[in-house]
Structure 1
Amino acid sequence: MAHANLDKTTRRILTGKTPFFACTDDPRFSFGLYVPSCHSFDGPYLPLLVVVHGTRRQTGGYLTHLKEFSERHRMVVMCPLFPAGIIDPFDVHNYKQLLYRDIRFDLVLLSMLAQAARTWRIDVDTFFLHGFSGGAQFAHRFLYLHPARLRGVSIGAPGGITHPTSAHAWPTGLADACTVLGIEPDFGQIGRVPVQLLVGEKDTDTSMISRDDLAGRNRVERVRYLHRALASREVASVLNIVPGVGHDGMKCLPVVEAWLGPLLL
């Protein structure tokens, strides 16, 4: 894009909380950003935090809640939108497992990053990733496949977990990840990524999650399990149990910000 030719209105719209932009490689998907006021189209590259929504797709809420964090740390925030009902009109879940029919949701995200880098001065070679609930399912599976792209990953209260072992097939485990997804997880590289695991201490309701998961009966147990399972693969992680909080991604954001802030220094 010829940034010198942008009019004032366009420049204003491309700073702060932006509109959602269609993904040019697959317009069924889109993304919005919060771009801090320090951003300049011919200035230094800014770090990026990608926040993947949960099942209810509260993308706008995350961009609003992270505005002050973005301004304070001179960091761009991106929220991809994977709409419900793609292919299957009643589907609300399939982005969480990265692969559904011919859609690779991890590659859609990487395409969005490349597109955004053609407009804004963002470092997309490596970025921070946070997901809560359904977004956390996406985030920890993305970690298995693309650790070299991550500066850090925050995984909040996933309802379903891919075990970091070859005891089960994808998406329950990694036994056939190379065959199904074309990537063999590299735990040496995964172990170099800073990882945060978090869940509200009262996040014990099971009405929205499967009840036959070997990782535990509820999200608290499953996060604790994932913490132990990653450690068994020599992947260190910070475990935060958020006092007094149930299944609420917005109330967990201050804990995410507190973990993320020192990584930006």
Structure 2
Amino acid sequence: MYIENEFYQLQKNDWYSLYMVIGIINIQCFRFILLKNVCQLVINFITSRLLSVLLTIVLFSSCDSINDGPINLNNYTELNSQSEGAGMFSFTYDLISESYLNVYSHIPTNSSPSTPIVFVFHGNNRNAYDYRNSLVEKADLYGFILIVPEFTNSQFPGGDGYNLGNVFIDGDNPSLSTLNPEPEWTFSVIEPLFTYTKQQLNNQTAKYHIIGHSAGAQFAHRFLFFKPEAKVDKIVASAAGWYTTLELDINFPYGLNSSPLENMDYTQLFSNHLTVLIGSNDNDPNSSSLRHNSIVDLQGLNRLERASNFYTNAQSIAVNQELNFEWNYVINPNADHNYLIAVSKAADLIFNQ
């Protein structure tokens, strides 16, 4: 009605009324636009709050589902006959210095004194926790005790401290003067840890199995070389970056010369159940952390070539010396350097061969 009155004034040619009408129309339009914007802001605010609430619910639900399972929990911090599921314990490997390492483990339900024990050696990332978690399902499936020692960089620095077993102060330049006493070798931690695990769990198994991947495979195959009396049954060395080959005219760490391995007993070595495992796609010569120099490249330019040559050369020695040869060579189809795929395949090889 008010607008109609304003238009009535127009009929009298009241220009002042014309301005008033235009002003009123502009005010009404401004109010409409303002109301529209306010409504949009309210809708956006309510929507954002609802999304936040929903996201919070999802996150809490996810956390609950993770914590319900054994993979991301350490159910115990001391190993004993009551231990079950995933856990972590400390093992003192040097009583004099009271040096210890953390050991991630998984004890399957209904384990018994005869339950097999499997040691797993992690890669260069020193991620024992992840390696333990990746094999929980296999441990439950096959019924084995999972033991994954964590060789940290601070305790076992660099390749000398881990990959090469701390045999020499400088493993790339071995000499009698830099040869460490055997109790200081990283390799010397494993047998006491096996004994401790058995004692704490009342386990009666005579031997244990080994899975090592990448840097862990380097540690694993050299452990076999330097500890010939170790109580190892089956061992899978998966995708080592390079190897200590059985070449007497090449210096350690690439060969046996200038090391305690010069007089290695091949008969005993080849009687071990060693499987050299490698992915068919683990063939990148530029893979990160893959060592290259004039000596190591004689083994090949990538992990696939090096694994094949390491196995083939050992097999040739066995044939030439007419020795029993218990090693195996397995190519994992379509697999690259992924540790999840590798350790899962390794567990299958140990318990399905």
**Residue 284 (structure 2) pairs with residue 211 (structure 1):** no
Residue type of the alignment partner of 1:140 = H
Deviates more, 1:251-260 or 1:155-164: 251-260
CA shift in 2, pair 1:170/1:112, >3 Å = same
State how many pairs are aligned.
248
Match of 1:231 in 2: 315
Residues 106 and 142 in structure 1, CA contact (< 8 A), matched pair in contact too: yes
Q: Percent identity?
A: 22
Q: Which has the higher Rg, Structure 1 or Structure 2?
A: 2
Instruction: Report the more deviating stretch, 93-102 or 125-134.
Output: 93-102
Which structure ranks higher in relative contact order (CA pairs < 8 Å, sequence separation ≥ 6)? Answer: 1
Q: 1:117 to 1:12 in 2, by over 3 A?
A: closer
In the alignment, structure 1 residue 37 sits paired with structure 2 residue 109: yes
Give the Cα separation in 2 of the matches to 1:82 and 1:156: 18
Partner of 1:152: 234
- The equivalent of 1:170 in structure 2 is 252
Say whether residues 1:61 and 2:142 are aligned partners.
no
Q: Deviations over 1:61-108 (max 9, x none)?
A: 2222222222232211111111013375xx366311012534301101
Cα–Cα, structure 1 residues 224 and 115, in superposed 2: closer, same or farther, change >3 Å?
A: same
Unaligned segments of structure 2, at least 5 residues: 1-75, 170-179, 319-324
* Structure 2 CA distance for aligned equivalents of residues 169 and 105 of structure 1: 20
The residue that corresponds to 1:143 in the other structure is 224
Tell me what 2:73 maps to: none
- What is the rounded CA distance, in whole Å, between the counterparts of 1:9 and 1:147 in structure 2? 32
RMSD after superposition: 2.6
Q: What is the identity, as a one-letter code, of the residue corresponding to 1:63?
A: R
Q: Counterparts of 2:283 and 2:136 in 1: how far apart (Å)? A: 30
Residues 48/130 of structure 1: CA separation in 2 closer, same or farther (3 Å cut): same
Q: Secondary structure in 2 aligned to 1:224?
A: helix
Q: Given residue 123 of structure 2, which amino acid in structure 1 is its aligned partner?
A: G
Letter in 1 for 2:146: V
Q: 1:191 aligns with which of 270, 281, 296?
A: 270
Partner of 2:191: 110
Segments of structure 1 that go 5 or more residues without pairing to the other structure are 1-7
The one-letter code matched in structure 1 to 2:278 is V
Give the letter for the 2:333 counterpart: P
Distance in 2, matches of 1:104 and 1:198, equals 25
Residue 131 of structure 1: how far off its partner (Å): 0.5
Aligned-pair CA distance for 1:28: 4.2
Report the TM-score, using the length of structure 1 for normalisation.
0.83
Paired with 1:175 and 1:24, the residues of 2 have a C-alpha distance of 29
Change (3 A) 1:228 1:14: same
1:125-171: CA deviations, max 9, x gaps? 42111101000000111111234421111011111210123122222
TM-score (norm 2): 0.64
Seen in structure 2, the aligned counterparts of structure 1 residues 120 and 172 have a Cα distance that, compared at 3 Å, is: same
Letter in 1 for 2:250: H
Corresponding position: 1:248 with 2:338: yes
Residue 245 of structure 2 aligns to a residue whose secondary structure is: coil
Given that 2:127 and 2:150 are in contact with CA atoms closer than 8 Å, whether structure 1 keeps it comes out as no
Equivalent residue number for residue 85 of structure 2: 16
What is the CA distance between 1:236 and its match in structure 2?
3.9
| Bigger helix share | 2
Letter in structure 2 aligned against 1:202? N
Contact 2:77 2:88 in 1 (8 A): no
1:121 aligns to 2:202 (yes or no): yes
Alignment partner of 1:73 out of 142, 146, 160: 142
